[in-house]
Amino acid sequence: MKIGWIGAGIMGNPMVHHLLKNGHEAHVYARHPQKVQNLIEEGAVLEESIASLVQHSDVICTMVGFPSDVKEVYGTIFEHIEPGKICIDFTTSSPSLAVALAQQGKDKQVTVLDAPVTGGDAGAKQGTLTILVGGPKETFDQLQPVFSAFGKDIFYCGVAGAGQKVKIANQIMIANTLQGICEAMTYLKSQGCDPALVIQNLQNGAAGSRQLELLGPKMLQNNFDPGFYIKHFVKDLRIALDQKEVKLTGVENVIQEYITLMDQGYQDLGTQALIKYFQ
């Protein structure tokens, strides 16, 4: 299977690495080719344009930053794609945009899946991502060899847009969990206790979480290197709030804290930098 990949950044780069490792032919397009040099050395084919990538690929995968990027990239893809090909958008994006892309693809006899992932850069590097897929079930089944190259838990969520909706639910939970961790550490410090006790004493109890395990130590070390950028998390939370069916009080609070950090120039730090808001 010839796989084209657009967006080989913190997440996409290791995902392509696993595709190559599993014997897939990978074609990559990057605005900054030096950032995919490692993939070229592993055997990936560097394409000079999106049009060229689409021409040489059976399955076109995207992993970009924002919904606006998704719209721009698929505008070009749809200009050049041939009937019968498949697109997978791994970007966390708007459910309504996912539905629109699926319809545009259908009009061109192209199947488009939304397949956002969770697990962070660690999961991408280890090939253990959770993949949340929306679109035709038969296409989901057909693409298992692609998903299993870098995914451990691969879920069919339903029709187009369903994968994005489940991913946004994931981001809602993460936002509230990070808030709780920061408040707990700040509380202990204010009471004359070591904030590290949140991890040492509570990780294996009822309040333990993946976020505490992975990001708690980084908070204590003031290590804010991005596994997931603040600017991208704010984008996800804005998508969560872009609906009127349910009030998300926790998300409303957390996004304002992150926006404050962005206003201070911290948009390219990792999400664990939320602790800076409390310092």
Bin 53: left if φ > 0, else alpha if -120 < ψ < 50, else beta. alpha
Angle between helices 249-263 and 230-241 (to 10 degrees): 140
Which amino acid does the sequence have at 89? Answer: D
Here the tokens at position 32 are: 């900054």
The full length of the chain comes to 279
Here the tokens at position 13 are: 């780069």
Paired with 3 in beta bridges are 26, 59
Q: Are 114 and 163 in contact (CB under 8 A)?
A: yes
Which residue has tokens 């509570």? 202
Any catalytic annotation for residue 231? no
Q: Are 143 and 113 in contact (CB under 8 A)?
A: yes
Distance in angstroms (rounded) separating the CA atoms of residues 62 and 82: 17
Q: Which of 85, 125, 167, 276 is catalytic?
A: 167
Here the tokens at position 73 are: 């990239």
Q: Is residue 89 classed exposed, middle or buried when 0-12, 13-18 and 19+ CB atoms within 10 A define those classes?
A: buried
Paired with 153 in beta bridges are 130
Distance in angstroms (rounded) separating the CA atoms of residues 149 and 130: 12
CA distances from 268 to 80, 191, 230, 278 (A): 33, 32, 6, 18
Which sequence positions are flagged as catalytic?
167
